Amino acid sequence: MTAPLAPGATIGILGGGQLGRMSALAAARLGYRCHVFAPEADSPGMQVAAAHTIAAYEDAAALARFAAAVDVVTFEFENVPAATLAALEPLAPCRPGVGVLQVCQDRLAEKAFLARAGVPVAPWRAVHDEAGLAAAVGEIGLPAVLKTTRMGYDGRGQAVLRTTADLAPAYARLSPRPLILEAFVPFVAEVSAIAARGADGSLAVYDTVENRHRDHILDLSFAPARVPAPTAALARRHAGEVAEALGLIGVLALELFVLADGTLLGNEIAPRPHNSGHWTMDACLASQFEQHVRAVAGLPLADPSRHHDAVMKNLVGPEGLALWPGLLATPGMAPHLYGKAAARPGRKLGHANRLLPLGSLAGMADAAALAGL
């Protein structure tokens, strides 16, 4: 696929979650239709898409019909089976392609890739059995973090090892294996940078943001990150370099740890729009979702510059939902809900972006409170 997608063309999205929903809304604004493919009925993405398929990712006949009905395929979460994208690739252009998915689905491949792309990472070892865990701890030391290599998100599938007594129970609990052992990083902040890369290789990278988690789930993002300017610039540069090294067509988030001396260590790549980029929906002319659609459709990328400072608050579970009426009534607040039926604890139901004049976040000691969140 070389020419840009014509207005009215259809973008196929694998996955029915909120990231696909917000991508479909951005696509509609640019004149495209979306067809969401997911196993769950009435998913947030399907509610706003022109067409949908409810089928298993392994359903070859459904995948073939989906490929015939769309002009390009993308995915909204990286745990879509690689075999699904591999089955689609001969039938329709897939952006990003299966190679990108394979790197980002496997923490071992991802860590090796980050290092090759020039992003420093904490020491790590692959762990194939219990003896291997003991050996890896011997080399890396404690504390350390033991993680599953696949399907981990929001802190699931990982354990912090503080003493040797923690090794056996953590190994017994975590599966599927193999696992990865990482040195514990004494970070002072977690940041991320979102990069879009177009079909022509052009790059658009948003400002680096600072992320705060609660119960392992992203709670707040501050845009821009309150870190030294060279650190913020380096995070953006790394995100662009990773997008180039992956040959990405689409959007990715690069999550990084910031050490006390400003050094950055890469943690994870998400090869899709990311929760830490939701602030771009209201604080930039073009959101990460629009950039993703532009890239996938072969359109020129948009200017990623920020016209406001922003604090993004995730609305998680029933307590998050309880904030909704107040958020609607708060000046300068842009609230978003994802249309999920059940407000289960720990579930991301929406978010709100509090906009602030440019330059106001820098130096704010407690920006969350000042932003009225």
Q: Is 203 helix (H, G, I), strand (E, B) or coil?
A: strand
Q: Which residue has the tokens 């705060």?
A: 212
Query: What is the smallest separation between the CB atom of 268 and ligand AMP, expressed in angstroms?
Result: 5
CB of 116 or CB of 216, closer to ligand AMP? 216
Query: What is the smallest separation between the CB atom of 325 and ligand AMP, expressed in angstroms?
Result: 30
Applying CB under 6 A, the span of 40-48, 178-186, 308-316, 352-360 interacting with ligand AMP comes to 178-186
**What token pair was written down for 267?**
């943690």
Q: Examine residue 213 and tell whether it contacts ligand AMP (CB under 6 A).
A: yes
| 333 close to 326: Cβ distance less than 8 angstroms | no
Residues 330-369 that bind ligand AMP (CB under 6 A): none
Q: Burial letters for 67-80: b for 16+ Cβ neighbours within 10 Å, e otherwise?
A: beebbbbbbbbbeb
Q: x/- contact string, 103-142, with ligand AMP (CB under 6 A)? A: -------------------x--------------------
Q: x/- contact string, 232-271, with ligand AMP (CB under 6 A)? A: -----------------------x-----------xx---
**What token pair was written down for 314?**
């995730």
Instruction: Indicate the residue whose CB is closest to ligand AMP.
Output: 185
Query: What is the smallest separation between the CB atom of 107 and ligand AMP, expressed in angstroms?
Result: 7
Q: Examine residue 152 and tell whether it contacts ligand AMP (CB under 6 A).
A: yes
Query: What is the smallest separation between the CB atom of 216 and ligand AMP, expressed in angstroms?
Result: 6
Among 118, 120, 141, 155, binds ligand AMP (CB under 6 A): 155
Q: Examine residue 219 and tell whether it contacts ligand AMP (CB under 6 A).
A: no
Query: What is the smallest separation between the CB atom of 236 and ligand AMP, expressed in angstroms?
Result: 19
If phi > 0 it is left, if psi is from -120 to 50 it is alpha, else beta; for residue 239 that is alpha
Per DSSP, the residues of 42-70 read T-TTGGG-SEEEE--TT-HHHHHHHHHH-
Measured CA to CA, the distance from residue 115 to residue 308 in angstroms comes to 34
Measured CA to CA, the distance from residue 168 to residue 161 in angstroms comes to 10
Q: Examine residue 78 and tell whether it contacts ligand AMP (CB under 6 A).
A: no
Instruction: Please give the sequence-ordered ranges of beta strands (E in DSSP) within the chain, or none if there are none.
Output: 10-14, 33-38, 51-54, 72-75, 124-127, 144-148, 158-161, 179-183, 189-197, 203-205, 209-214, 217-223, 250-258, 264-270, 309-316, 333-337, 348-356
Q: Which residue ranges make up the site for ligand AMP (CB under 6 A)?
A: 122, 145, 152, 155, 182, 184-185, 190, 213, 216, 255, 267-268
